[in-house]
A and B are shown apart, each in its own frame.
Chain A
Amino acid sequence: MEATRPVIYGMLAEFDSDRALLDAAHRVYAAGYRQTEGYSPMPVEGLCDALGQPQTRIPLVTLVSGAFGAIFGFAMCWYANVISYRWNIGGRPPNSWPAFIAITFEMMVLCASLGAVLTMLVMNRLPQPYHPVFNAPPFQRASKDRFFLCIEAKDVHYDPEQTRALLESLNPLSITEVPE
């Protein structure tokens, strides 16, 4: 850190179980904090709801991209056989749609899968090589066996003393002030 006072990103509390983190999340939310984030080595059921985070829209995006893929796949086969290169093969109709279903299905799966994953990455703002929470030394275990709750400094209720007092009342293993 430089000579100037470091800008603070937030206050990070460390817990040893998902239950402790979940309890803490409920208490912090009840205290009015909204700019918060939990960190855990695996998904913790109910943590997003406890922190008041909105529902994900990934299923909707997947549906739309899947529908796009299906329409595109079918339209491609239809255009090729009905408009672009109409050719009578054994008297079969140009729009012999059952023969187009396999490609329609594969394009649906391809677009829906890519849509789901790319949306997940974009909405999570990944890849993101740098993030302030990595500055906290205990955070190294966030990908192993420790659970963290961060109250961000941009929260309107954030106050170095009061926030620390609240987190201390939750019996964390440690509390770290995270520099930006």
Chain B
Amino acid sequence: MSGHAAEIPNSETTLVLAPGHTYASVTDKIADLVLTRPFTLTWFVVVGFTGLFVCMLMLAVSYLFARGVGIWGVNVPVAWGFAIVNFVWWIGIGHAGTFISAMLLLMRQDWRTSINRFAEAMTLFAVACAGMFPLLHLGRPWKFYYLLPYPNTMWLWPQFRSALVWDVFAVSTYFTVSLIFWYVGLIPDLATLRDQASNKTVARIYGVLALGWRGAASHWRRYHSAYLLLGGLAAPLVVSVHSVVSMDFAEAQVPGWHTTIFPPYFVAGAIFSGFAMVLTLAIPMRSIFRLKDMITLQHIDNCAKLLLVTGLIVAYGYSMEYFMGWYSGEPTERYLNANRALGPYAWTWWTIVFCNVVTPQALWFRWVRRNVWLMFLISLVIQVGMWGERFVIVIISLHRDFLPSSWGMYYPTRWDWAVLLGTIGFFLFCFILFARLLPVISISEMRELVHSSHKSDAEAAG
């Protein structure tokens, strides 16, 4: 990379790590964010503010458990409301974290190093938010364990042919694998925090979490092997999870759902919304934590390019849905096409076309990709758009299906909004605590990046 620094005039702006860093400097910089940064009033205000949303979530969930799903806007014909929209949206957001940590690891993309840790944390909290919804959406949430195959006195099994049961396996596997991937990646950094901490109690806490890691050569070899294997397992897992989620829809015969393009289209959409969330988190973080030398404009640019690619796949998905709806010759499918663009929820359809198809076209321009303000704005627009996409898929398909006599409208209630905003607050609350308590960038992998950039410097010089 710095090997051809001489030929590229603007190489400073394409680096994934600013020059001049050493093992000690990256260690100190990232570890000090956790160990020596003071607690400020602003921090308490932000934690308190997001904490209020967590309280709202708990209130909304308690009321839901007390009164049942009737407090939501769901009813026949729209029995899947915000809960399923939110579920698909959150789990999609999680996918970018795994994509960064697993796919880009296997493809040896060294720019992933400074963003994988917090992207994995993002995955974990997003999947935690997603995992709530299927349970909250159960009519009898206290019987959630009926979803699992366990020996029971009724001699019954879950319906293993149903995509909804596949979902239980996919999401719980996804959460478990994301958690261990994230934790295994953290172990060497926890050891660094243990050794760097000046406070005895803090050192002891990190020491327990670090499991006594000491960086022995034989340990590193097994660690590296296990980590790569986890990457290799997580990469197809992430594809399978959203494919299974899409089959929750595609297995049904509802117009607009019964289509074979759903799995790839959902996976692309998931990575699309997830990279938008990565940017939403990374752009303020690099400025608040003064990490602009580690999360550089090149990172923003690369994420923007991935947004553009996945956005184009999503746009292709939309056009294929329209084409197949028309080409099938089915009256209900054709009616769905018209109802999306002209029906009572047409404004949601045109919103998602604007957010997910029109807006990403700005990313063809380098100056847009490298303007953090614009990128922050675009990332928010895309997330709204991707939430809207799931709204279009769930609600517009359900509210007018085969039988005109059973058509109806869906209106969310304040409790629907309370749960949605509550999970956003919960997600941000968890993320802020993570950024306070754990290194937001993988220190040991940054040392490897320093090492490889030194090596290429030496090769260029000699």
Partner of B155, one of A77, A85, A129: A85
Residues 1-57 of B at the A interface (beta carbon under 8 Å): 22-24, 27
Partner of B169, one of A41, A107, A128: A107
Q: What are the residues of chain B within 8 A of A121 when measuring CB–CB?
A: 211
Q: What are the residues of chain A within 8 A of B207 when measuring CB–CB?
A: 129
Question: Quick check: A51 and B195 within 8 Å, CB to CB?
Answer: no
Q: What are the residues of chain A within 8 A of B212 when measuring CB–CB?
A: 126-131
Query: How distant is the Cα of A47 from the Cα of B218 in the complex, in angstroms?
Result: 9
Residues 149-174 of A at the B interface (beta carbon under 8 Å): none
Digitize A97-140: 1 where CB-to-B-CB distance is under 8 Å, 0 elsewhere: 00110110111011011101101110110111111011000011
B194 contacts the other chain (Cβ, under 8 Å)?
A: yes
Residues 14-69 of A at the B interface (beta carbon under 8 Å): 18, 37-44, 47-48, 51, 53, 56, 58-59, 62, 66
Minimum Cβ distance to chain B for residue A45 (Å): 10
B244 contacts the other chain (Cβ, under 8 Å)?
A: yes
Question: Quick check: B230 and A85 within 8 Å, CB to CB?
Answer: no
Question: Quick check: A99 and B161 within 8 Å, CB to CB?
Answer: yes
Partner of B444, one of A42, A100, A124: A42
Question: Quick check: B217 and A44 within 8 Å, CB to CB?
Answer: yes
Question: Quick check: B176 and A103 within 8 Å, CB to CB?
Answer: no
Interface of B is mostly: helix
Q: What are the residues of chain A within 8 A of B177 when measuring CB–CB?
A: 109-110, 113
Digitize B181-216: 1 where CB-to-A-CB distance is under 8 Å, 0 elsewhere: 100100010011011100000000001100111111
Query: How distant is the Cα of A122 from the Cα of B403 in the complex, in angstroms?
Result: 60
Interface centre among B166, B195, B226, B233 (most CB of A within 10 A): B226
Question: Quick check: A48 and B218 within 8 Å, CB to CB?
Answer: yes
Question: Quick check: A106 and B166 within 8 Å, CB to CB?
Answer: yes
Query: How distant is the Cα of A9 from the Cα of B150 in the complex, in angstroms?
Result: 50
Question: Quick check: A56 and B221 within 8 Å, CB to CB?
Answer: yes
Query: How distant is the Cα of A9 from the Cα of B133 in the complex, in angstroms?
Result: 54
B128 contacts the other chain (Cβ, under 8 Å)?
A: no
Q: What are the residues of chain A within 8 A of B244 when measuring CB–CB?
A: 102
Digitize B217-246: 1 where CB-to-A-CB distance is under 8 Å, 0 elsewhere: 111111111100110011011001000100
Partner of A59, one of B24, B166, B225: B225
Q: Report, as a range, how many residues of chain B touch the other chain.
A: 35 or more
Q: What are the residues of chain A within 8 A of B188 when measuring CB–CB?
A: 41-42, 143
B343 contacts the other chain (Cβ, under 8 Å)?
A: no
Q: How many A-B residue pairs have CB under 8 A?
A: 189
Digitize B396-438: 1 where CB-to-A-CB distance is under 8 Å, 0 elsewhere: 0000000000000000000000000000000000000000000
Question: Quick check: B169 and A39 within 8 Å, CB to CB?
Answer: no
Query: How distant is the Cα of A132 from the Cα of B181 in the complex, in angstroms?
Result: 29
Query: How distant is the Cα of A39 from the Cα of B195 in the complex, in angstroms?
Result: 14
Minimum Cβ distance to chain A for residue B162 (Å): 8
Question: Quick check: A48 and B221 within 8 Å, CB to CB?
Answer: yes
Query: How distant is the Cα of A44 from the Cα of B240 in the complex, in angstroms?
Result: 34
A84 contacts the other chain (Cβ, under 8 Å)?
A: yes
Minimum Cβ distance to chain B for residue A12 (Å): 11
Minimum Cβ distance to chain A for residue B236 (Å): 7
Q: What are the residues of chain A within 8 A of B444 when measuring CB–CB?
A: 41-42
B357 contacts the other chain (Cβ, under 8 Å)?
A: no
Q: What are the residues of chain A within 8 A of B166 when measuring CB–CB?
A: 102-103, 106
Partner of B180, one of A53, A103, A117: A117
In the complex, residue of chain B having the shortest beta-carbon distance to the beta carbon of A148: B215
Question: Quick check: B222 and A53 within 8 Å, CB to CB?
Answer: no
Minimum Cβ distance to chain B for residue A92 (Å): 8
Question: Quick check: A37 and B217 within 8 Å, CB to CB?
Answer: yes
Minimum Cβ distance to chain B for residue A60 (Å): 10
Contact sample, A vs B, 23 pairs, CB 8 Å cutoff: A39-B217, A41-B215, A41-B447, A42-B188, A58-B222, A59-B225, A81-B157, A99-B160, A103-B166, A109-B173, A109-B234, A109-B236, A112-B233, A113-B229, A116-B229, A120-B222, A120-B223, A120-B225, A129-B212, A133-B214, A140-B195, A143-B215, A144-B196
List chain A positions with a Cβ less than 8 A from chain B: 18, 37-44, 47-48, 51, 53, 56, 58-59, 62, 66, 73, 76-77, 80-81, 84-85, 89, 92, 96, 99-100, 102-103, 105-107, 109-110, 112-114, 116-117, 119-121, 123-124, 126-131, 133-134, 139-145
Given A42-B220, A140-B195, 17 further pairs, Cβ under 8 A: A56-B225, A62-B226, A85-B155, A85-B156, A99-B160, A100-B160, A103-B165, A106-B237, A107-B169, A113-B233, A116-B225, A116-B230, A117-B226, A121-B211, A131-B212, A133-B214, A143-B196
What 9 A-B pairs have minimum CB-CB distances, sorted nearest first?
A145-B23, A127-B211, A120-B226, A38-B217, A80-B157, A102-B166, A128-B212, A99-B161, A106-B169
